[in-house]
Amino acid sequence: MWDFIVERRDDIIFNTYQHASLVAQAVLLATVIAVLLAVVVVRVPALAGVANVVSAIGLTLPAFALIGLLLPLTSIGVVTGFVAVTFYAILPILRNAVVGLQQVDETLLESARGMGMGQLASLWRVRIPLAWPVILAGIRTSTQMSMGIAAIAAYVKGPGLGDYIFAGLVRIGGANAVNYAVVGTVGIILVALVADALLLLLGRASISKGIRAA
Amino acid sequence: MSTDLSKTPDTTTGTTTEASISGAEIVLDEVVKQYPGQKVPAVQSLSLTIPAGEIVMFIGPSGCGKTTSLKMINRLIEPTSGTIRIGGDDVAKQSDNELRRQIGYVIQGGSLFPHMTVAKNIAIVPKMLGWKRQRIDERIDELLDLVSLDPGKYRDRYPRELSGGQQQRVGVARGLAADPPVILMDEPFGAVDPITRQRLQDELLSIQRELRKTIVCVTHDIDEAVKLGDRILILQEGAKIAQYDSPEVVLGAPANEFVEDFVGSGSSLKQLSLTRVRDVDLIHPTTATVGESVAEVKRRAEANGDTSVIILDQRGRPRGWPWLRQLKGDTVVEPTEDLVDVDLASTLNDALDTMLSSSHGGAIVTGDRDQYVGVVNFDAVTDHIRAIEEKARD
């Protein structure tokens, strides 16, 4: 096992980096899209139900199925993986962002308006900061989930640690089958733990002391 | 009431120094608000002049349109028709956000943004107006001082680290931040306990003495209206004016049955809200200063026939009101009790409230900077009520 890792050291480090990078970029893009969608959703109350249903159904959609659906559009490669991971990453963030933005006290928004804050200023300086802890919780869920989805993306030649898992699967019974699977799985868990720790630190730094749970 | 702006206020005579008016006149002209889908307008043609530098209280039963009327002044609600002018300028002709930055807005509980510090909350409007950082910082300290919060202690606190009364004070400071000529208040002191409310009202009055803004304040509490208002606007359903006059007239000569019912019975009790503590005779029981000899103090009190003494600190501020038997040791030490006192500008109503919760049957009165002035007791209040009743009989 140790030799297996040492031999493929550079390759493993590269794939780990690729995996983390794929998830980080996808979650970042997903956050921007989800928050923008949530802003629209809370403005049009009728959409709130739609958003909930979409994220509930979206999460039941098997990743393999989605990747299959995407293939004709984006063909085999990094793009398909990225799109699939981003799609799933949006859902938990969207759900939390809608709840978070809705939770902001109406009277606070009215007093922002009463002081002459424009729509954008009120959103950026009052509503999003107050919803941020809930949104960030969504980002954490989303990041964890994306680690697994990114592994599946390897099936269509997406980058990352998923390659090792599939390599293990095709070699079942072979010499290094278990090594491949273990390196892939443990690698993903480690990346996920590190990412979660980083997000916790981000929370410390970015959630106002005035609303942080003590 | 006439105010001559050409003359500088005379500060040599009179007991209080009149500050110059910094408020602006507000005129509502046939203002209507009709919500779509409702048969009857929420506000049916309201015409009203609010003189510069006065506090006008809007009061009426719930759903009478008082809050709607208030919110039309800063266009949080757009009137269906009619015009509103502030200092002669039609509000509808200005950009709504620019307009609101020139009108202070204070609502129940202060409505502070919980994710911003006290300083940041206060700085919101000045920042939007593009003030320089140093000017904003100075303004924050000045305002915290004005609302009796120590800037060094409270500037960097978050709202959740403040009591309800302190939050409300910061709310008032935030409303005053950019020195707007007009301040709108929507039940500002509704969310605090009665004693804190009384203090906040007193503070607002003393701030107003200094600033002379035009303040429009919605309340559901007739006592608050009588206490704070230079004028009271009593509204009936549809924001129809039932009466618009000074508190004295509203209480003494209600325009119709509606006002009479609304003002309620016990109007001589309500008159207590019109009289300030400084207008009645105070008594002067024995006082002692921290550090004095206890034996000496006891001798003095017994000579006066007092069974308790008021203890002042070195700067003449009352600190405690113990019974003689509670005085122990050789010298008078500073008491630790939480003494509730009333200001010279407090109403007799507030004083009565304080007296009822005091075991001494009186309330300690303080003047500027918390200096001890004397004690107001039940006799002073009953004498006053008797005088009012006699006057009413004549």
A36 belongs to a structural domain: yes
Phi, psi of B136 (to 5 degrees): -65, -45
Q: Which residues of A touch B114 (CB under 8 A)?
A: 130, 208, 210-211
A213 belongs to a structural domain: no
Per-residue burial over B19-56, b = 16 or more CB atoms within 10 Å of its CB, e = otherwise: eebebbbbbbeebbbeeeeeeebbbbbbebebbbbbbb
A109 belongs to a structural domain: yes
B101 and A115 within 8 Å at the Cβ level: the answer is: yes
Shortest CA distance from A214: residue in chain B:
B160
Residues B231 and B216: beta-carbon distance below 8 Å: no
- The two three-digit tokens of residue B20, written as one number: 């110059």
The DSSP-derived string for B179-205 is --SEEEEESTTTTS-HHHHHHHHHHHH
3-state secondary structure of A95: helix
HSE-up (13 A, CA, CB side) for residue A147: 21
The rounded percent of chain A whose pLDDT value lies above 90 is 50
A212 belongs to a structural domain: no
Cα–Cα distance measured from residue B211 to residue B104, given in angstroms and rounded to the nearest whole number = 13
A92 belongs to a structural domain: yes
A214 belongs to a structural domain: no
Number of A/B CB contacts below 8 angstroms equals: 61
Residues A52 and A98: beta-carbon distance below 8 Å: yes
Residues B318 and B312: beta-carbon distance below 8 Å: yes
Q: Which of B97, B105, B160 sits opposite A111 (nearest CB)?
A: B105
Looking at residue A155, its pLDDT comes to 78
SS3 helix, strand, coil % of chain A, rounded to 5?
85, 0, 15
Please enumerate, as own/partner, the contacts of B139-145 that have beta carbons within 8 Å and a separation of 24 or more.
B139/B177, B143/B173, B143/B176, B143/B177, B144/B118, B144/B170, B144/B173
A111 and B107 within 8 Å at the Cβ level: the answer is: yes
Q: What angle do CA B169, B148, B108 make, to 5 degrees?
A: 10
Shortest CA distance from A110: residue in chain B:
B76
A211 belongs to a structural domain: no
pLDDT(A192) > 80: yes
Q: Which helix (H) or strand (E) holds A114?
A: helix A106-114
Candidates A104, A108, A110, A115: best to mutate against B (most CBs of B within 10 A) is A115
What domains, with CATH codes, occur in chain B?
26-272 (3.40.50.300), 278-386 (3.10.580.10)
Cα–Cα distance measured from residue B215 to residue B226, given in angstroms and rounded to the nearest whole number = 14
Q: What is the pTM of this model?
A: 0.76
* Residues in CB range of B196: below 8 A, 6 or more apart: B163, B164, B165, B168, B189
pLDDT(A210) > 80: yes
Q: What is the DSSP letter of A156?
A: G
How many structural domains compose chain A?
1
Instruction: Specify the amino acid at residue A158.
Output: G
**Which residues constitute the domain of residue A88?**
2-206
CA distance, residue A119 to nearest chain B CA (Å): 10
pLDDT(A45) > 70: yes
Angle between helices A177-206 and A9-43 (to 10 degrees): 50
Cα–Cα distance measured from residue B269 to residue B337, given in angstroms and rounded to the nearest whole number = 30
Tens digits of per-residue pLDDT, A95-145?
Answer: 999 999 999 999 999 999 999 999 999 999 999 999 999 999 999 999 999
β-partners of residue B374 are: B365
CB atoms within 10 A of CB B223: 19
Cα–Cα distance measured from residue B341 to residue A50, given in angstroms and rounded to the nearest whole number = 59
B158 and A114 within 8 Å at the Cβ level: the answer is: no
B107 and A107 within 8 Å at the Cβ level: the answer is: yes
A114 and B159 within 8 Å at the Cβ level: the answer is: no
Residues B161 and B167: beta-carbon distance below 8 Å: no
Cα–Cα distance measured from residue A10 to residue B203, given in angstroms and rounded to the nearest whole number = 71
Q: pLDDT tens digits for chain B (394 residues)? A: 444 444 344 433 333 445 688 889 999 999 999 998 888 899 999 999 999 999 999 999 888 999 999 999 999 999 999 999 999 999 999 999 999 999 999 998 878 999 999 999 999 999 999 999 999 999 999 999 888 899 999 999 999 999 988 999 999 999 999 999 999 999 998 878 888 888 889 889 888 888 899 999 999 888 899 889 999 999 998 899 999 998 888 887 888 888 888 887 656 667 777 788 888 888 899 999 988 888 889 899 888 888 889 999 888 889 889 888 888 888 888 887 778 888 888 888 888 888 888 888 889 998 877 789 999 988 888 888 787 767 766 6
Q: Which residues of B touch A126 (CB under 8 A)?
A: 113
Whichever domain contains A74, its CATH number is 1.10.3720.10
Phi, psi of B243 (to 5 degrees): -165, 145
Residues of A near B (Cβ–Cβ under 8 Å) read 107-108, 110-118, 121, 126, 129-130, 208-211
Which residue, chain included where needed, has tokens 């006059």?
B245
B124 and A115 within 8 Å at the Cβ level: the answer is: yes
A190 belongs to a structural domain: yes
Residues B243 and B85: beta-carbon distance below 8 Å: no
Q: Which helix (H) or strand (E) holds B193?
A: none
Q: What is the DSSP letter of B221?
A: -
Give the ipTM: 0.84
HSE-up (13 A, CA, CB side) for residue A101: 23
Looking at residue A180, its pLDDT comes to 87
Q: What angle do CA A110, A115, A119 make, to 5 degrees?
A: 60
β-partners of residue A59 are: none
Q: What angle do CA B197, B346, B59 make, to 5 degrees?
A: 55
